[in-house]
């Protein structure tokens, strides 16, 4: 191929061209911001009409939208650069996700057509990007070919969704699309092992990709705070202010635990399966965090036992997954003990589910504060030990 042909436009970076200690760029930060809109409509759409089918839609929409973010995050981490090409396609993705976000509320109202059409257009863009990757780096075809085949398979199912009648059947047909996306990295891990070993690519999750996961976590927590502020607006009475403070402590507690524990995680292994499991666990964490956000912002709006139980279950899952993510790095006895304290503590907290939301939230906030204090004390003692 003639490299001069692409000199001004740029070409994908080869996977073997690893940039050590790369920091996320302004372009990546800007592209992440558009997902705030998607998370907002995702939560507000479910809040408008709470039922079982909308819970299923919530999970499907989240996983489909997150897959777009995850694909571009991994693409940028492995093949991105500062070229006009990378910038143009990233901004095109931003435009696509903005349009996709505008169709989420229609999706909740049984109109799948706009969402699926826009999603398919983004899928075509993704397919093109990965085709061009193997054009410039043919040796990468080993791990890219199965992914491209799955994209075609998913595209066919999306066409079936469009031509099918009835939202139940359409929802059912979306399940194979989501399942195949979630299983692709796990099922193809042996191919990754072969390519990475042959091409001497390190088995590790880059610090820049971990920062991107942290940014998405911040997006969800930011949406929590924005919704809490919106609910408080104009209701400056003692009960409303107290509810706002207690709910905010919950958000701050999750923020504190996540960044205190995950900030020091460095995922490195001898094969690809550990990297795939770390990403999968992070997807699960972000999904349950989004669900916890929904339950949190509706805790005082819908006084139902099932909602309080959902809040406690999602909060328990969120904190447990934070400790599990921490264990992908070097594990210590203190971290193991913290995990079981977290699990045991929430079993006790479930006894309070039948109480009023104010009592339930106060107890869960106190427990969150307890976990944060334990974490900071352990960090302080570790610092003293290292200084000696």
Convert the pLDDT of each residue in 138-159 to its tens digit: 988 888 888 888 899 999 999 9
Q: Could you tell me which residues are beta bridge partners of residue 268?
A: 204
Query: By C-alpha distance, which of 65, 63, 75 is closest to 96?
Result: 65
Can you tell me the distance from the alpha carbon of 195 to that of 269, in angstroms, rounded to the nearest whole number? 15
What's the whole-number average pLDDT of the chain?
A: 85
Would you give the distance in Å from CA 12 to the centre of its chain? Answer: 25
Name beta bridge partners: 204: 268
Instruction: Write the pLDDT tens digit of every residue in 325-380.
Output: 888 875 443 444 555 455 555 555 555 555 677 777 888 888 888 888 887 877 77
Q: What is the pLDDT of residue 340?
A: 47
User: Distance (Å, rounded) from C-alpha 191 to C-alpha 185?
Assistant: 10
Of 178, 217, 223, whose CA–CA distance to 43 is shortest?
223
Q: How far is CA 245 from CA 168, 293, 301, 354, 383, in A?
A: 40, 15, 16, 22, 32
Q: What string of H, E and C letters represents the secondary structure of 54-122?
A: HHHHHHHHHHHHHHHHHHHHHHHHHHCCCCHHHHHHHHHHHHHHHHHHHCHHHHHCCCCHHHHHHHHHH
Reply yes or no on whether the pLDDT at 319 is more than 50. yes
Query: Which has the higher per-residue pLDDT, 98 or 276?
Result: 98
Chain segment 26-72, per-residue pLDDT in tens: 889 899 999 999 999 999 999 998 899 999 999 999 999 999 999 99
Distance CA 10, CA 84 (A): 6
What residues does 172 pair with on adjacent strands? none
């Amino acid at each position: 191929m003639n490299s001069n042909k692409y000199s001004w436009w740029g070409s994908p970076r080869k996977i073997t061209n690893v940039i050590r200690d790369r920091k996320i760029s302004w372009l990546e930060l800007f592209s992440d911001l558009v997902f705030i809109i998607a998370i907002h409509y995702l939560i507000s759409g479910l809040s408008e009409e709470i039922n079982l089918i909308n819970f299923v839609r919530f999970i499907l929409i989240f996983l489909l939208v997150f897959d777009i973010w995850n694909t571009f995050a991994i693409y940028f981490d492995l093949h991105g650069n500062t070229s006009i090409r990378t910038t143009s396609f990233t901004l095109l993705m931003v435009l696509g996700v903005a349009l996709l976000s505008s169709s989420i509320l229609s999706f909740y109202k049984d109109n799948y057509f706009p969402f699926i059409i826009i999603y398919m257009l983004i899928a075509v863009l993704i397919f093109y990007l990965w085709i061009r990757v193997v054009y410039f780096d043919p040796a990468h075809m080993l791990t890219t070919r199965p992914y491209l085949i799955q994209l075609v398979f998913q595209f066919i199912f999306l066409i079936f969704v469009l031509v099918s009648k009835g939202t139940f059947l359409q929802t059912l047909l979306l399940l194979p699309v989501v399942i195949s996306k979630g299983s692709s990295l796990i099922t193809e891990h042996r191919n990754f092992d072969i390519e990475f070993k042959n091409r001497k690519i390190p088995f590790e999750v880059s610090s820049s990709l971990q920062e991107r996961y942290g940014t998405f976590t911040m997006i969800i927590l930011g949406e929590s705070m924005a919704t809490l502020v919106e609910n408080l607006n104009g209701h400056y009475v003692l009960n409303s202010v107290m509810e706002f403070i207690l709910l905010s402590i919950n958000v701050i507690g999750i923020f504190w635990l996540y960044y205190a524990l995950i900030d020091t995680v460095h995922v490195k292994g001898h094969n690809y399966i550990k990297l795939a499991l770390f990403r999968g666990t992070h997807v699960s964490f972000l999904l349950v965090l989004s669900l916890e956000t929904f339950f949190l912002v509706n805790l005082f709006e819908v006084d139902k036992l099932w909602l309080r139980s959902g809040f406690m279950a999602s909060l328990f899952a969120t904190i447990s997954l934070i400790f599990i993510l921490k264990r992908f790095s070097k594990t210590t006895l203190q971290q193991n003990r913290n995990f079981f304290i977290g699990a045991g503590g929430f079993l006790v907290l479930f006894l309070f589910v039948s109480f009023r939301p104010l009592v339930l939230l106060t107890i869960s906030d106190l427990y969150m504060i307890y976990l944060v204090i334990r974490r900071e004390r352990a960090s302080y003692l570790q610092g003293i030990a290292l200084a000696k």
